[in-house]
């Protein structure tokens, strides 16, 4: 499946985005080994997480809605966030991949969501922390990576919130719910 997935990613992505996905795949596999998950699943999820990212917004929306989950208001306000859902639909339909954990990791990598599994948390963090992301210094990145999985995800969320706030962009509801979960709050 890995070679098929690589060819699929190459056919859909620019060279720059493909390199990002390859680095995310390598980091995901490494984190999977560290946190007791299947590194092959981490590699596949990391490699495929952005396969819909460079599509038009209309195509992203169309692919995402094929999952039957409808469109939340926060997704309609910023349809690029749908590229994770779209990737899960495309990979399932076009590659025949049925692994639930991998499909969830594709879907969840953009905003996260409460109760997401370990593979989803790993890919969510790896996407943000892959080595060539320009918004983190190397010492800062390594510090985040030195944490256990949930504190790492929480750190990524907080940095994402600051980024969005600095650009006057809304935070997705599932991100806030994941934050509350990681903080131990039930929202009441």
pLDDT digits (tens, 9 = 90+) for 79-121: 888 999 999 999 999 999 999 999 999 999 999 999 999 999 9
Using the 8-state DSSP alphabet, how is residue 67 labeled?
A: T
Reported pTM = 0.93
Measured between alpha carbons, how far is 51 from 37 in angstroms, rounded to an integer?
A: 23
Model confidence at 185: pLDDT above 70: no
CATH architecture of 2-183: Orthogonal Bundle (1.10)
Q: What pLDDT, in 10s, does the model give residues 127-163?
A: 999 999 888 889 999 999 999 999 999 999 999 999 8
Tell whether the torsion through CA atoms of 124, 130, 134 and 138 is positive or negative: positive
Q: Stretch 1-22: mean pLDDT, rounded?
A: 95
Beta carbons within 8 Å of 144's beta carbon, 6+ residues apart: 125, 129, 136, 152, 155, 156
* Mean pLDDT, residues 40-57: 96
* Domain locations along the chain: 2-183
Please give the distance of CA 184 from its chain centroid, rounded to a whole number. 22
Q: Where are the alpha helices (DSSP H) in 72-148?
A: 73-77, 83-95, 100-108, 118-129, 138-145
């Amino acid at each position: 499946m890995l070679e098929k997935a690589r060819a699929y990613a190459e056919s859909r992505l620019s060279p720059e985005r493909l390199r990002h996905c390859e680095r995310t795949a390598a980091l995901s596999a490494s984190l999977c080994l560290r946190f007791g998950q299947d590194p092959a699943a981490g590699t596949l999820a990391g490699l495929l997480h952005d396969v819909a990212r460079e599509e038009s917004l209309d195509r992203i929306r169309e692919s995402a809605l094929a999952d039957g989950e409808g469109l939340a208001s926060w997704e309609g306000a910023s349809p690029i966030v749908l590229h994770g859902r779209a990737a899960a639909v495309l990979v399932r339909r076009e590659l025949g991949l049925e692994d639930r954990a991998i499909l969830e990791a594709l879907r969840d990598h953009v905003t996260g969501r409460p109760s997401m599994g370990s593979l989803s948390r790993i890919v969510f963090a790896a996407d943000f922390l892959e080595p060539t992301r320009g918004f983190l210094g190397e010492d800062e990145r390594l510090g985040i990576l030195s944490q256990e999985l949930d504190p790492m995800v929480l750190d990524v969320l907080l940095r994402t919130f600051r980024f969005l706030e600095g650009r006057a962009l809304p935070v997705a509801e599932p991100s806030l719910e994941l934050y509350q979960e990681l903080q131990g709050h039930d929202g009441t």
